[in-house]
Amino acid sequence: MADSPSRTPSGRLSLAAAGGPAGAPAQNRIALGPLDGRYQAATAPLVDYLSEAALNRDRVAVEVEWLIHLTRHSVLPGAGPLTPEQEEGLREIVTEFDPASVAELAEIEAVTVHDVKAVEYYIGRRLEALGIKHLTPMVHFGCTSEDINNLSYALGIKGAVEDVWLPAARALVAQVAEMARSTKDVPMLSRTHGQPATPTTLGKELAVIAHRLGRQLDRVARTEFLGKINGATGTYAAHYASVPSADWQQVAKSFVEGLGLTWNPLTTQIESHDWQAELYADMARFNRILHNVCTDIWSYISIGYFAQIPVAGATGSSTMPHKVNPIRFENAEANLEISSALLDTLGATLVTSRWQRDLTDSSSQRNIGVAFGHSLLAISNVAKGLERLDVAEEVLAADLDTNWEVLAEAIQMVMRAEAIAGVEGMDNPYERLKDLTRGHRVDAARMKEFVSGLGLSPEAEARLLALTPGTYNGIAADLVQHLG
């Protein structure tokens, strides 16, 4: 007789066992969080760097490289260099790390109740086949768990930033920059405080976005990924007690730098994580600028500056067939807020450790992938949203043509310049334009009539009469060239 379906305490059928295989389509998989369910395809590249399995693979890699480093430099008496074949065999423990390895580690950890100790035993099991079983005591030599963990996290975060997040973010900025170049001459009414203001061009405003985002990415690209391997309280006490003849600082420094990281010479039991807090602050700032982009684009869509290209077969609203909702930008807003909140929490938590060590950082760091994932998902959504936008140039032009009062700034500034040049009758220019335009709509005819009656010099009058809201945007188009 088949087992009856399990039920929750409330009596509903349990969905916990209905997740299906890992390769099943996201819609058919059941996950507690959306990054591993609905949005799994967008965040999948981060799994190779920031998942628990990736962390364990990196722990294995650090332990293996430490063993090779110690033997290659004959740091311990009696443990000279390995053969090239033995080194290659050790590194294959890392390159062949697969789901079966994850399962084996889980079985070992179920006994050790310690994740890093499980990695040590996992490697030790494989040394006999390489002919170096006698070196088993050298696995994890002189190390505290945090020596392995801090380096493993640094490697995973470095890879996630450099191979996944940063390329995606740079591609988005390049997309915005290309939009800026292609629309640099499209005039657009500005709105300061939500009110009509001195016109600009769409391309110049997009260039501002690309420039702001690009600066943050340059900061992220300069991140120092620090690491240490100096023992239980950062003093090399066990190292010197066991092998006092070695230059352990140099051994540690060369090892950390050999991993592609920056050596931190002064730590407690933990690497202080300050570099992580710095990185997360920069990423959160990028997120918040991008959030501002989303709200602005959303607003421009709402007033018709952008038209959204419908996706064939897609439903904009379940009840209003005409709608094409700006869901990509709304989705991005939510994910950017979640990511930034997590990054802020990580940055605040990780810089604090009670005395030489507490475990708050251990639990916190397990959420790094979640923070990265929500940001990466938002970047993906913004990129897709931008791809579906058309510039409604006729709407932008009509908006400009109904706001001739924005020329008031230009007229009063010309009057000031004329007054300085000695032209009579240029008194109180600001007040005169205020009386004409404040709280009033002024059309082209009324504005030209006003200009013609000011008594300007012929050259200044001709210049103002030729000016329109669509041409009053200074060198906005030229400024786009600062994007390079």
Residue 1 pLDDT: 47
What confidence tens digit (pLDDT) does each residue in 80-138 have? 899 999 999 999 999 999 999 999 999 999 999 999 999 999 999 999 999 999 999 99
Ranges 23-32, 87-96, 196-205, 294-303: which has the least confidence: 23-32
Reply yes or no on whether the pLDDT at 31 is more than 70: yes
pLDDT band at 28 (very low <50, low <70, confident <90, very high): low
Reply yes or no on whether the pLDDT at 276 is more than 50: yes
Reply yes or no on whether the pLDDT at 6 is more than 80: no
SS3 letters across the chain: CCCCCCECCCCCECCCCCCCCCCCCHHHCCCCCHHHCCCHHHHHHHHHHHCHHHHHHHHHHHHHHHHHHHHHCCCCCCCCCCCHHHHHHHHHHHHCCCHHHHHHHHHHHHHHCCHHHHHHHHHHCCCHHHCCHHHHHHCCCCCCHHHHHHHHHHHHHHHHHHHHHHHHHHHHHHHHHHHHHHCCCCEEEEEECCEEEEEEEHHHHHHHHHHHHHHHHHHHHCCCCEECCCCCCCCCHHHHHHCCCCCHHHHHHHHHHHCCCEECCCCCCCCCCHHHHHHHHHHHHHHHHHHHHHHHHHHHHHCCCEEECCCCCCCCCCCCCCCCCCHHHHHHHHHHHHHHHHHHHHHHHHCCCCCCCCCHHHHHHCCHHHHHHHHHHHHHHHHHHHHCEEECHHHHHHHHHCCHHHHHHHHHHHHHHHHHCCCCCCCCHHHHHHHHHCCCCCCHHHHHHHHHCCCCCHHHHHHHHCCCCCCCCCCHHHHHHHHC
Domain boundaries, the chain: 48-141, 146-233+240-393, 404-468
Please give the backbone phi and psi of residue 314, each rounded to the nearest 5 degrees, phi first. -80, 155
pLDDT, average across residues 157-182: 98
Rounded percentage of the chain residues whose pLDDT exceeds 90: 84
**Which carries the bigger pLDDT value, residue 363 or residue 10?**
363
At the top level of CATH, the class of 146-233+240-393 is mainly alpha
pLDDT, average across residues 246-257: 98
pLDDT, average across residues 443-471: 94
**Which carries the bigger pLDDT value, residue 432 or residue 440?**
432
pLDDT band at 324 (very low <50, low <70, confident <90, very high): confident
Please give the backbone phi and psi of residue 195, each rounded to the nearest 5 degrees, phi first. -105, 150
**Which carries the bigger pLDDT value, residue 412 or residue 13?**
412
pLDDT band at 12 (very low <50, low <70, confident <90, very high): confident
What confidence tens digit (pLDDT) does each residue in 254-267 have? 999 999 999 999 99
- What pairs with residue 308 in β-bridges? 389
Q: What is the mean pLDDT of the chain?
A: 92
CATH superfamily of 404-468: Fumarase/aspartase (C-terminal domain) (1.10.40.30)
Residue 25 pLDDT: 52
Reply yes or no on whether the pLDDT at 298 is more than 70: yes
**Which carries the bigger pLDDT value, residue 425 or residue 161?**
161
> Looking at the annotation, which residues are catalytic?
193, 317
CATH superfamily of 48-141: Fumarase/aspartase (N-terminal domain) (1.10.275.10)
Residue 18 pLDDT: 56
pLDDT band at 209 (very low <50, low <70, confident <90, very high): very high
SS3 letters across 413-471: HHHHHHHHCCCCCCCCHHHHHHHHHCCCCCCHHHHHHHHHCCCCCHHHHHHHHCCCCCC
Reply yes or no on whether the pLDDT at 150 is more than 50: yes
pLDDT band at 309 (very low <50, low <70, confident <90, very high): confident
Residue 151 pLDDT: 98
